[in-house]
Amino acid sequence: MVRTGPTKTVSSSHVLGRLRKARKFMDIARNEMELADKSDETDPIVSNMILGAIAYADSLTAATIGEVNQGDHAGVIKVVRKALGDRFPKAQEGHLKALLQRKDQSQYGSAFGPYQAAESLLKHAKEFSAWAELELKRIQPGLESTSHDKKKE
């Protein structure tokens, strides 16, 4: 059994609600990276990547065990592992961990967030979100398809 931090039981509607937010956070991050100059402060963009990854994780755990992580964002990985077991690849865990490690710095820190760091984190965010989308379709085949899917085509 995987030890996890505090979780909250959620209804089935939570899956789609968090998925919509995940997609929007990622759309905003991608768009802002395209507009950013290499000298820009990018922590606000990184913040959206992180919020998107957390929302994807919440969608996955809500869809499989009806629970989401509560409070400690470092516990997100443990809850996803509890929900998916071996279906949570180490590579995806690494992408999620790379993003979560920057949460405090990007959202509460005062240090400058360089473009190059955001560019690297965007790769992690894209990989994790693409995998999460596929996994959610596997878990709930009838899950709503949105304009997000059409943009990828």
Segment 106-117, tens digit of pLDDT:
999 999 999 999
Segment 9-35, tens digit of pLDDT:
998 899 999 999 999 999 999 999 999
Instruction: State percent of the chain over pLDDT 90.
Output: 83
Go through the domains of the chain in sequence order and give each one's CATH number: 9-148 (1.20.120.330)
pLDDT band at 74 (very low <50, low <70, confident <90, very high): confident
**Quick one: pLDDT at residue 149?**
45
State whether residue 36 is helix, strand or coil. coil
The pTM (predicted TM-score) of the whole model is 0.90
Segment 52-66, tens digit of pLDDT:
999 999 999 999 999
Compute CA distances 17 → 9, 20, 56, 63, 115, whole Å.
Answer: 15, 5, 10, 11, 30
**Mean pLDDT on 32-39:** 97
Quick count: other Cβ atoms within 10 Å of Cβ 2?
11
CA pair distance 60, 54, nearest whole angstrom? 10
**Mean pLDDT on 135-144:** 89
3 is written with which tokens? 């030890």
Quick count: other Cβ atoms within 10 Å of Cβ 24?
16
